Structure 1
Amino acid sequence: MSVYDCTADDKVPDRFRKTLGSNLDSLRAHNLSAILTQIHHDHPLSRSDLAAATGLNRSTITILVNDLIDRGLVVESNGAGEGSRKSAGRPRMSLHPSDRVLAIAVNPEVDAITVGVVSLGGKVERTIRYETDEPPTMRRAVKITTAIIEGIQTMLPSDSRIVGIGVAVPGLTNAIDGSVALAPHLGWRQEPLASTLSEETGLPVWAANDAHLGVLGETVFGGGTHVGNILYLNGGASGIGGGVISGGMPLKGATGFAGELGHFRIRSDGKRDSAGLQGTLESEVTRDDLLRSLGLESRDFLKLDAALTEPRTGIAQQEINRQVHALGTALGSMVTIFNPELIVLGGFLGSLLDAEPERLRHLVAQESLTPQYAVVEIVRPELLENVLLVGAAELAFGALLRDPTAFDIAPEPSNGATAAEAVA
C-alpha cells in the first residue's frame, strides 16, 4: 500500500484550504490504514521499522501511531519483541495490535458450528465447537451462533470491542451481500445469511466461501505470505472446496464462485457428489470414508489427524491409498492448469498428505508436466485447524483496516485482564 506525507503548507491560499483539508483528511485516513495493516500483519514492529517500510518521516509516524494508540487499536511495550529488528543500546519500543479488538469467526458445517474469538493480529484466542445431530438450517445455525456470541460477550472485559463477524461457508457465497447461493451439504439455497445473523446479533456480518477464506488466512498469516501463485484445497465435513491465488490476486470468476475444485472431475464413472456431478474429487475423497475405515466414531478433526499418522490396518491403508491416488490425480491436472508455486492442503486433505507424503507427491509429479511440477511445493497450512477462522476474521477486520478513523477513541480499561485471559 502506498503512503504519503501529509504535512499542511501554511502558505496555501485560503480559497484552497477547504479542498486541502478534505484531501489531508483522506491522506491521513489512508496512512492510518497503511500503518495499522502493517502492524496487524507483521507485528511486532518499532516506529523505525514502520518508517523504513512506509517511507514516511519519523514525525509523521509518531502522529499516526499515537492516533492508533489513542483509538485503542495499537499498544506499545518495552523490548524489541520476536520478529522486530534489534539494535545495540537502549531497549526499543515495540508496537502490537491490541488484543482488546476482536472479531468473531464462524464456520457452520454439517455436524457442528465452530465459533472463534480472534484478536487483531490474527491470533485465535478461543474456539467453541457446538456439535449438531444433523445439518442445521440457516436459521438454526444463526440461533446457535448468536447464543454462543452472547455467552462470549459476558466474559469479555468491558473495554473489549467486537468489530464484526466473519463467516466461512462451505458453499457458493456472495461475498458482496453475504448471501448463500448454494451450500449443498447443508441444504442451503438462496439464504440471506449475513443479514439474518447481523439482525440477530446487532453486529456487522460478512460471509464468503470457506476455502476462499482459507487461502486468505494462509496468505496473510501463514506459509503463503510472499507467494503469488497458490492453490488451496480444504477437506471438511461438507466435502472439498478450493481457492486460487494467481499473480498475487484471488481468482474470482464472473460471479465470484471460481475455485470450486472439489467438483473437479477425475473419472467418467463413480459416485455423484453433493452437486450431483459424477466422478469428482469430492465424491472420491471423503472424510466419512476415512472415519469408517479407521473405525472412528468421533468426527473431531484432531482425532482423525492423529489416527492417520499411527500404524494402520489393511482396510484403513487400502482406503488411504485409494484416496491419495484420487487426490494426486486431481492435483496433477490442477498443476497443469494453474501453474502454482504452492499447494496448500487443509483439513483432512492435509492429514492425507502427512499419512503418505512421498506417494502423494510422486502421483502429482506423474500426472503433471515436469516444468510446472518442478516449482511446486505441497504443504499443510501453517495455521492448521485455525486457517478458516483466521480467514473469516480477516473478512471481519477488513472495514477497520481500510478506515481506522471510523473507529472511536478507546474507552478506559476496566481491569487488567486481557481478552485472551477473559475467554480462556
Structure 2
Amino acid sequence: MNERATTVEGVRRTNLAEVLRLVHHSGPRSRAVITAETGLNRSTVSDLVGRLVEAGLVEEHEPDPTRRVGRPSPVVAPSLDVVAIGVNPEIDAVEIGAVSLGGAVRERIRIPVERPGVADVVGIVTRVVQDWQDGALRGGRIEGVGLAVPGLVRAADGLVRLAPHLDWRDADIAGPLAASLGLSVVVGNDASLGARAERLFGAAREHEDVVYLNGGASGIGGGLILHGMLIGGVGGYAGEWGQTAASVADPADRRAEGGVLEDEVNRARLVQVAGLAAPEDAELRTALAATSVDAVAAEVARQRRILTATLGNAVNVLNPAMIVLGGFLGILRELDPAAFDDEVRRRALAASAEQLEISAAALGADRLLIGAADAAFERLLADPLG
C-alpha cells in the first residue's frame, strides 16, 4: 500500500471514530448536526455514517415529521444491539450490567455474595453473560467487559494492587475473565469509572472541571476531571479521597482515633444506626429521610459536618465547577441539599466557590456499570472498523 493510501485510510479511521464517539456520548443527532459539530463536509459525513450502518454500529431513523423545516436529514443513533458488560464486585454482591452504545443499561443483575474472590467473580460473570447470550442478548454483539473495582488498580495493566475490603492483593482478574469469556477485559477503579460515567452521560456532562466522590459499602473513592480529562496520576491511583485525613473540627465528632475519611463518613455506621440489614441505597435513603430517632439524626449531622469540611478543602485546592456525590454521599446531601451546599461554600474561599455547583450522581446505581462499560468500548471507539 502506498503512503497516500495509508494516509487516506488513517484519516477515514479518525473520522469514523469521531462520528461514532459523538453519537455514543452525545446521543442521536441528524446528519446535518453531525456535519456542523465535526466540521466535515456533507458527503464525507454521509459516507462515514453509511460505513457505520453497514458495520451495525449505528442506525438511521426518519426525523420527527412534526418538526420538519425544509428537507430534514435522517437521525443517526447508536445501535442498542452493540453492548459492553460492566461489572462491579462489592463486599456483599457482584453487580453486572449490559450497557449499549449510547450508555443505556439493557440488562442488570445483582448477585449477593459475601466478599467475592477473583474466582467467584469470574464464575458469576461468566454464567450471567452466557445466559444473556442465549437469551436477552441473543443476536447482539458484545464488545468487551469492564470491571469497576473498589481499590487501587494499576493503569498500565489493570492489576488490582489492593482492594482491602475484598481482600484482593496484586490480583489479576482481567486475564482469567478474558480467558473464560473470550472477550477483551479492562479493569479500573470504581470511583474513577463512576466519574467517567457522570462526566460523559450524567450530572457533570456540561462541565470540564469536576470533583467526584463515591460512597459505597467498601468505603469512599473518587475521581478528578480537569479540563475535561480524567486524572489518574503516575500509576493510576489518583482519587483516593477516602484515605485522606478526616476533617474533624470537634473532637466529640471523632469515632475512629487516627482514622481516615472513610472511617468517619461511613455507610455501615448509617446502616447500623438506622437498624437496617444490608439495604440498597434507595432503602437507606428512605429510612434516613423518614426517621425521627435522635441517634439517627445525630449521626447524619456528624457525617455531614465532616464531609462538607472535606469538600471545602477540595474546592480551595482544585476550584472545580462541579462536585458530584455518588452512593450514600449523595444521600447525605439530599437529606437537606441547601444547607449542605451552603456549608461547603462556607468552608471554602468565596472566590473559589462562587461558580461551584453540587449535585448527586444523576446515573444512580447504574453509574459504575456505565463507566466500566464505557471503558470497555474504548477500543471500538478508537477504531470502529478495526
Question: Shorter-chain TM-score: which interval?
Answer: over 0.9
Quote the offset at 1:81 in angstroms. 9.4
The 3 A distance-change label for structure 1 pair 36 and 80 is farther
Alpha-carbon distance between aligned partners in 1 of 2:28 and 2:375, rounded to the nearest angstrom: 22
Alpha-carbon distance between aligned partners in 1 of 2:101 and 2:385, rounded to the nearest angstrom: 16
Query: Contact conserved, 1:324 with 1:356, CA < 8 A, in 2?
Result: no
2:356 is aligned to 376
1:317 pairs with 2:297: yes
Alpha-carbon distance between aligned partners in 2 of 1:53 and 1:248, rounded to the nearest angstrom: 18
Quote the offset at 1:321 in angstroms. 0.6
Instruction: Report 1:44-63 matches (<5 A).
Output: 44-63=28-47
Which residue of the other structure, out of 55, 60, 77, is the alignment partner of 1:76?
A: 60
1:328 pairs with 2:341: no
Which residue of the other structure, out of 14, 26, 29, is the alignment partner of 2:10?
A: 26
2:263 counterpart SS class? helix
Quote the offset at 1:311 in angstroms. 3.9
Alpha-carbon distance between aligned partners in 2 of 1:293 and 1:144, rounded to the nearest angstrom: 32
Alpha-carbon distance between aligned partners in 1 of 2:15 and 2:260, rounded to the nearest angstrom: 47
1:391 pairs with 2:375: no
Which residue of the other structure, out of 18, 25, 35, is the alignment partner of 1:41?
A: 25
Alpha-carbon distance between aligned partners in 2 of 1:157 and 1:379, rounded to the nearest angstrom: 34
1:64 counterpart SS class? helix
Alpha-carbon distance between aligned partners in 1 of 2:23 and 2:279, rounded to the nearest angstrom: 37
Query: Contact conserved, 1:178 with 1:195, CA < 8 A, in 2?
Result: no
Which AA in structure 1 matches 2:152? L
C-alpha deviations, 1:159-200, integer Å up to 9, x for none? Answer: 300000011010001233221000111110000111121111
Which AA in structure 1 matches 2:342? H
Query: Contact conserved, 2:210 with 2:225, CA < 8 A, in 1?
Result: yes
Query: Contact conserved, 2:155 with 2:235, CA < 8 A, in 1?
Result: no
Which AA in structure 1 matches 2:329? L
Query: Contact conserved, 2:247 with 2:309, CA < 8 A, in 1?
Result: no
Corresponding pairs, count: 382
1:333 counterpart SS class? helix
The 3 A distance-change label for structure 1 pair 343 and 45 is same
Which residue of the other structure, out of 331, 337, 343, is the alignment partner of 1:351?
A: 331
Which AA in structure 2 matches 1:108? P
1:151 pairs with 2:135: no
Which AA in structure 2 matches 1:111? D
Alpha-carbon distance between aligned partners in 2 of 1:235 and 1:221, rounded to the nearest angstrom: 19
Alpha-carbon distance between aligned partners in 1 of 2:143 and 2:81, rounded to the nearest angstrom: 10
1:186 is aligned to 166
Query: Contact conserved, 1:173 with 1:180, CA < 8 A, in 2?
Result: yes
Quote the offset at 1:158 in angstroms. 4.1
2:75 is aligned to 94
Alpha-carbon distance between aligned partners in 1 of 2:232 and 2:281, rounded to the nearest angstrom: 28
Q: Unpaired segments of 5 or more residues in structure 1?
A: 1-16, 407-424
1:237 is aligned to 217
Query: Contact conserved, 1:46 with 1:80, CA < 8 A, in 2?
Result: no
Which AA in structure 2 matches 1:52? A
Quote the offset at 1:87 in angstroms. 4.2
Query: Contact conserved, 1:264 with 1:330, CA < 8 A, in 2?
Result: no
C-alpha deviations, 1:108-154, integer Å up to 9, x for none? Answer: 0000000001011100112100011x211122122112111111111
Alpha-carbon distance between aligned partners in 2 of 1:66 and 1:249, rounded to the nearest angstrom: 31
C-alpha deviations, 1:222-247, integer Å up to 9, x for none? Answer: 12122111000000010000100122
Quote the offset at 1:366 in angstroms. 2.5
Instruction: Report 1:283-302 matches (<5 A).
Output: 283-302=263-282
Quote the offset at 1:19 in angstroms. 0.7
The 3 A distance-change label for structure 1 pair 312 and 385 is farther
1:308 counterpart SS class? helix
Alpha-carbon distance between aligned partners in 2 of 1:365 and 1:397, rounded to the nearest angstrom: 37
Quote the offset at 1:43 in angstroms. 2.0
Which AA in structure 2 matches 1:262? G
Q: TM-score, normalised by structure 1?
A: 0.86
1:114 is aligned to 95
Query: Contact conserved, 2:196 with 2:371, CA < 8 A, in 1?
Result: yes
Q: TM-score, normalised by structure 2?
A: 0.95
Query: Contact conserved, 2:323 with 2:357, CA < 8 A, in 1?
Result: yes
C-alpha deviations, 1:310-350, integer Å up to 9, x for none? Answer: 24321111111111111111111111111111000000100
Which residue of the other structure, out of 233, 247, 263, is the alignment partner of 2:227?
A: 247
Alpha-carbon distance between aligned partners in 2 of 1:24 and 1:125, rounded to the nearest angstrom: 37
Quote the offset at 1:288 in angstroms. 1.0
Quote the offset at 1:354 in angstroms. 0.4
Alpha-carbon distance between aligned partners in 1 of 2:99 and 2:301, rounded to the nearest angstrom: 37
Q: Unpaired segments of 5 or more residues in structure 2?
A: none
1:206 counterpart SS class? strand
C-alpha deviations, 1:337-395, integer Å up to 9, x for none? Answer: 11111000000100111012233223212221111122211101111211111111110
Which residue of the other structure, out of 178, 181, 187, is the alignment partner of 1:201?
A: 181
